[in-house]
Amino acid sequence: MPILPSSYTNAPLFYLNGHFETIIPSIWRKIEGVSYEREKIDTPDGDFLNLDWSRVGGEQLLIVSHGLEGDSQRHYARALVKLFNQQGIDVLVWNNRSCGGELNLQPVLYHHGSSHDLETVVQHVLSSNRYSELFLAGISMGGAQTLNYLGKKGEDVSPILKKAAVYSTPVHLPSSAATLRRPVNRFYNQKFLGKLKKKMEAKGKQYPGLIDLERLPSVRDFDDFDTHYTAKIHGFADAADFYEQASPHTRLKDIRIATLILNAANDPLLGKECYPIEFAHGSTHIFLEMPKRGGHTGFTIPGSEFNYAEYRLLEFLTQE
């Protein structure tokens, strides 16, 4: 498919660059009027996942995968819930292990390649025989999980699962990880690392001897953290091995349903390889849209409760 043109051109004037477009909505944006009904389900390995439902009696369901250290309460998740509910579509936001306010049971946590937990969620929904159509949406890390899931399923994807859409997604995880090494991105590095280090400390106390807690305070970058903690817990050799194996870029060719990738050209957390232009040109299932503005999960529309990405996902997923 050709690269899709983008109609997003009206970012607020005082959002001077991709950093402003990323940080301001992340801090100040609020979405009111969303409530959830929580369901806890078991995983095949003896753990659990917390699923947050917002039902309006629809025959269609949107399953949302959140970003790194996010959960169902993040503004981008609540906005999709509210927007799709207004169209009569039920929404399920699943919380990755250790997210959503409750530490998980097993030593493993979650990462960009954790498509097995999304598989558990999808199979749980399918077993209910409740919905005629399913859609997937993923934001940032959740987008990588979504693409990994679809690529691994390939031809075996359920016929009830009709379309998927992701945005601000590290399609090529090694290049995205490289952006966090830039001095200009130190803010994001420290923001995420601070949260992850606290969670790793809790996991180390839950499983004494599992990881080196004495080293944790000295960790200053993701390469160090992912080598000694993420990789160790999840069975990768080191950070580089983790980035390569958890990256969805090698699995795009196996996706068999229409899938939108919406990545802003000025996203400060995406490397150039996260824009699979050449691949999209020759694909029958991947649709790539690259607005010049938007930042990372920003896409603000002045005076609108919802952002461009949310409207665009609704349009893409529900159009005939």
Task: Kindly report, residue by residue over 277-295, the tens digit of the pLDDT.
Answer: 999 999 999 999 999 999 9
- Per-residue pLDDT of 237-273, as tens digits, reads 999 999 999 999 999 999 999 999 999 999 999 999 9
How far is residue 213's CA from residue 205's CA, in Å, rounded to a whole number?
A: 9
Q: What is the pLDDT of residues 294-316, one digit of tens each?
A: 999 999 999 999 999 999 999 99
In this predicted structure, what is the pLDDT of residue 1? Answer: 56
Q: Answer whether residue 202 shows pLDDT above 70.
A: yes
Q: What does the pLDDT read at residue 189? A: 86
- Kindly tell me if the per-residue pLDDT of 167 is higher than 80: yes
Which uninterrupted H or E stretch holds 42? Answer: strand 37-42
Mean per-residue pLDDT for 113-132?
Answer: 97
What integer pLDDT is reported at residue 14 of this predicted model?
Answer: 83
What domains are defined for the chain? 18-172+248-318 (3.40.50.1820), 174-246 (no CATH)
Q: What percent of the chain has pLDDT over 90?
A: 93
285 contacts 256 by C-beta, under 8 angstroms: yes
Check whether 124 has a pLDDT greater than 90. Answer: yes
pLDDT tops 80 at residue 2: no
Most confident residue range from 9-23, 92-106, 180-194: 92-106
pLDDT of amino acid 320? 79
Mean pLDDT on 175-202: 92
Burial 280-312 (b: 16+ CB within 10 A, else e): beebebbbbbbbebbbbbbbbbeeeebbbbbbb
- Provide the token pair at 138: 């993923």
Asked if the model's pLDDT at residue 5 lies above 80, the reply is: yes
- The string of pLDDT tens digits covering residues 91-117 is 999 999 999 999 999 999 999 999 999
Positive or negative torsion for Cα 261, 265, 269, 275: positive
What pLDDT digit, counting tens, does each position of 132-147 carry? 999 999 999 999 999 9
Q: What percent of the chain has pLDDT over 70?
A: 100
Region of 71 (left: φ > 0; alpha: ψ -120 to 50; beta: rest) is: beta
Q: How confident is the model at residue 13 (pLDDT cuts 50, 70, 90)?
A: confident
Angle between helices 141-153 and 115-127 (to 10 degrees): 70
Q: What's the pLDDT band for 88 if we cut at 50, 70, 90?
A: very high
Judged against a pLDDT cut of 60, whether residue 17 lies above it is answered with yes
- pLDDT at 309 (0 to 100): 98
